[in-house]
A and B are shown apart, each in its own frame.
Chain A
Amino acid sequence: MIKEIIEYLEKIKIVNEKEIRRKFNLSLEEWELILIQLKDLGYIKEKASTPSCKSCPFLKSCSQVCLISDSLSLEPQKKD
């Protein structure tokens, strides 16, 4: 499953969680597990905020829904 998801992400470039869950028939809990595994494999990193957000006085009141989107990007893997 992990391999298929990595291949799918590399092919499709951008995907929302609902879409990927629907495509692979994953429950929320299964998706959470896959995210942790992808993170452990070093494939994804979390992007909590942008540099401009850090200086934003509304950071605390911001809905943080887009400007600080909860996006995870697939990282290229380093070879030993």
Chain B
Amino acid sequence: MEKKKIKVALSGNPNVGKSTVFNLLTGLRQHTGNWPGKTVERKEGIYIKDDYILEITDLPGTYSLTSRSLEEIIARDFIIKEKPDIVVVIADASSLERNLYLLVQILELHSQVILALNMLDLLSEKKYKINFKKLEEKLGIPVVPMIASKGMGIEELVNKIIEVFKEGQKSLPRKIDYGDLEEIIEKIEKNLPENLNGYNSRFVAIKLLEGDEIVKNFCKEKINYYEIKELIGKREDTAILLANSRYNWIKNILIDTLEKPRTPVITFSDRLDYWFTHPIFGLPVSFIILGLIFWITYTLNNLLADPWENFLGFLQSFLKGLLFFLPNFLKEFIFSGIWEGVSILLTFIPLIIIFFFFLALLEDTGYLARVAFVTDRMMHILGLHGKAFLPLMMSYGCNVPGIMTVRTLEEEKDRKLLTLIDPFIPCVPRILVSAFFASVFFPKYASLVLLSLYIISFLAVFISGKIIRRFLLKTSFSPLIMELPLYKFPNLKVLGLYVWEKLKAFLQRAGTVIVFLSAILWILGNFPSNNIEKSFLASIGKFFLPLLKPLGFNWQLLLGLITGFVAKEASLSTLSTVYQASGENLKNILLSEITLPTAYSFMVFQILYIPCVATVATIYKETNSKKWVLFSVIYSLVFAYFVSFIIYSLLRIIFHD
């Protein structure tokens, strides 16, 4: 007697043991290939029992049957077009909710369905209990418990497949009632053509309401889609209502079939998160932790600064000794030009190592994700994401590591925006220059003047953020669901590798730019004569002076700003050189040469104008775009110009200057 063939499709979510079941059933009687025209693997095999041959197809693992992924399209097309006799849905019994979601959709396509509840061992680990009999009754389809990894339940599954094939389903599978939408579904069904290429009309109607592109295009080819479109458009939220109905259906099925422990386990991470992500305490806690880290970073950096600079000095002398044979002008070029730039770069090394060590520590322990979470709402006011908080905070110390931290943001537009506005945060050297000017021109109110500069820089960040996001990097905020990782002990190797990578990248990319620009500035400052007043640099300053006259600057201040590009603190040393004075003498000269409005305008300008060369190089490294670097430089210059101009004009009126 010829054996009867039963066409069986194995369906299920990824990682539910579907392949294990397939392999146990088919053994060596299986072959693999690709689905026609697709790169997705197709596995088929047979199982023989008594008078039956089970022809089994292992469908790709999917969570649902939409048309959003290739796997989903293959799985649903197989059920529709190849019409298997039985569809076995293999489910992870310990995560029934999402597994039943796939089952729901399969029941809309096929009525001969068996639910194989696999991974019962995980179920008992979680202390969950399932009432299989009740589940079977409520679903209206056979349920087979199994632990495929131990070979348990395989025989029962085969028997059930044969039984359903022979006798049909004992009851009709319970399908979803979509409530108010049932009327629209029915009307759509009536408008559909008779030949639906194997699809059933209810499934097509539901998919049309969900906005399924494949079904929509298929219908457009066959009928006048306009009437259906009108029906679909009657309610805007149909897709959500369908999803809600499915969710409620699953909840209802599980309400008295799945039993879970009443009190969920509270983990160590949960306890920490109570404080770290608390709506009230979360933010102050993050401020304390980050403040502490910045304090340690700068304290350690200050401690290391002197010995490190001594070492660099020693290195310079050593190199000078090595290169004694070079002509004087070349030695001057190397050590006063290039080495000056290189040594500025090298002074950042301790800061970068210390800061990125702590950053890696925060990241590896899992706390950094919490910082982004608790600061997000605050940062939205600035037009930024929560992860922007750290780079901005860091930039109050130094913009270089601040901009290097920008890469923690996911969206490219967010990274660009932050890279553009971050330089408005005044770093320590910029504040040092301003503090000097404040003490000279506003001795009694120096701290208030400095505070006003911080406020101006904060406003610059805020206004620029809004302008750039609105006109240049048009993005709207996407609400974010964050999966906060579990807390864990940091791995020293990972921390070390992270710090090394950051340092190497900084030295490689920023280094080349700094060396180049330092050399150029040295040449401009020392030619055609050694006197800086008669140098090309001074000529450039004098040439551009008319442009900066409206801000009240003289050419000496302009020169200070130009050399401040190499390092902000160089502004002061340049002024000292061009005025040929230092200390009290320099203060007196400045007081006699510069008015109060000019001094304040200069402070504002030097807080906001182009960042130092190391920061510019870092912007280039992070954006990898000359266009954005140029934009950053020009934007900050223009912004600084206008703000300084407005402030200078106002102060002149106030002081009758």
The reply to whether A33 and B481 form a contact with Cβ atoms under 8 Å apart is no
Chain A neighbourhood of B229, CB < 8 A = 80
B residues less than 8 Å from A76 (CB atoms): 476, 478
Min CB–CB distance A48 → chain B (angstroms): 10
Contact of B410 among A20, A57, A71, A74 (CB under 8 A): A71
Find chain B residues with CB under 8 A from A10 CB. Answer: 479
The chain A residue sitting closest to B493, CB to CB, is A61
- Bound Cα distance from A42 to B211, whole angstroms: 10
23 contacts between A and B (CB under 8 A): A2-B247, A6-B240, A15-B479, A16-B277, A18-B270, A18-B273, A18-B277, A27-B97, A41-B240, A50-B409, A52-B407, A63-B363, A63-B366, A66-B362, A66-B408, A69-B410, A69-B482, A70-B482, A72-B481, A72-B483, A73-B479, A74-B481, A76-B476
Interface size class of A (residues with CB under 8 A): 35 or more
Enumerate chain B interface residues (CB-CB to A < 8 A).
Answer: 63-64, 66, 68, 95-98, 101, 210-211, 229, 232-233, 237, 239-241, 243-244, 246-248, 250-251, 260, 264, 270, 273, 277, 362-364, 366, 368-369, 372-373, 376-377, 380, 386, 407-410, 412, 476-485, 488, 491, 493-494, 497-498, 501
Interface majority SS (helix, strand, loop, mixed), chain B: helix
With CB as the reference atom, state the residue of chain B lying closest to A62. B494
Give the docked Cα–Cα distance between A2 and B363 (Å).
32
The residues of A that contact B66 with a CB separation of less than 8 Å are 40
Q: In the complex, A80 Cα to B213 Cα: how many Å?
A: 11
Most A-side CB within 10 Å, residue of B211, B248, B479:
B479
Q: Which A residues are in CB contact (< 8 Å) with B366?
A: 63, 65-66
In the assembly, what is the distance between CA of A46 and CA of B482, in Å?
Answer: 11
> Known interface pairs A3-B240, A36-B64. Does A44 touch B481 (Cβ–Cβ under 8 Å)?
yes
Query: Given the complex of chains A and B, what is the CA–CA distance between A62 and B481 in angstroms?
Result: 21
Are B96's CB and A73's CB within 8 A?
no
Pair B369/A29 contact, Cβ less than 8 Å: no
Chain B residue with minimal CB distance to A36? Answer: B63
Given A3-B241, A15-B480, A18-B273: 10 more A-B contacts, CB < 8 Å: A29-B98, A33-B247, A35-B481, A37-B101, A37-B243, A40-B64, A67-B407, A69-B482, A71-B482, A74-B481
Distance to closest chain B CB from A50 (angstroms):
5
Across the interface, A14 reaches (CB within 8 A) one of B211, B364, B480, namely B480
Q: How far is the CB of B246 from chain A (nearest CB, A)?
A: 7
CA distance A19 to B96 in the complex (A): 22
Are A2 and B408 neighbours in the complex by a CB distance under 8 Å?
A: no
Given contacts A17-B481, A18-B484, A37-B246, are A69 and B240 in contact (CB under 8 A)?
no
Does the CB pair B247–A17 fall under 8 Å? no
List, in ascending order, chain B residues with CB within 8 A of A71's CB. 410, 480-483
Interfacial chain A residues near B480, Cβ < 8 Å: 13-15, 71-74
A67 to B493, CA, bound (A): 17
Q: List, in ascending order, chain B residues with CB within 8 A of A72's CB.
A: 480-481, 483
Task: Name the residue on A nearest B487 (C-beta).
Answer: A65
- Report Cα–Cα, A30/B498, bound state, in Å: 37
Known: A3-B244, A40-B66, A80-B211. A13 touches B377 (CB 8 A): yes
B240: A residues at CB distance < 8 A: 2-3, 6, 41
The 7 closest A-B pairs by CB, nearest first: A73-B478, A65-B485, A70-B483, A33-B97, A74-B479, A14-B376, A66-B368
